[in-house]
Amino acid sequence: MIVPMTRVRILGPRDRFDVTLAAVQDFGKVHLSQGPAHVGVSPARLDARTQRRRAQLTRVLADVDEALQALGAAATPAPAP
């Protein structure tokens, strides 16, 4: 008998992982398999065209911030990284 499966990813605090995994296994609907061996997130590599566009947009943003300052307008704070 072929049983349809769905891949799931469990996210949350690492210190609660064991308790969470035990609860999911007790539910009896999850089969664990070895995940891919990804080391982590790698930074995006921009091609030359995209790097130029990024630099242009950064300059435009600086110009807008300078114009807002000159006009006395309150710029909105930058989002947290």
Q: What is the reported pTM?
A: 0.39
- Predicted confidence (pLDDT) at residue 77 exceeds the cutoff of 80: no
Query: What is the predicted pLDDT for the residue at 56?
Result: 96
The most distant pair of C-alpha atoms in the chain lies apart, rounded to whole Å, by 72
pLDDT tens-place string over residues 50-75: 999 999 999 999 999 899 888 887 65
CB 81: neighbour CB atoms within 10 A?
Answer: 3
On whether the CB atoms of residues 46 and 58 are closer than 8 A, the answer is no
Residue 16 has which token pair?
A: 């609660």
Residue 26 has which token pair?
A: 């007790």
pLDDT tens-place string over residues 9-65: 888 888 988 888 888 888 877 777 776 666 777 778 889 999 999 999 999 999 998
Query: What is the predicted pLDDT for the residue at 22?
Result: 85
Cα–Cα distances (Å) from 9 to 12, 21, 30, 32, in that order, read 10, 11, 11, 11
Query: What is the predicted pLDDT for the residue at 38?
Result: 67
- Unique residue bearing structure tokens 């300078």: 66
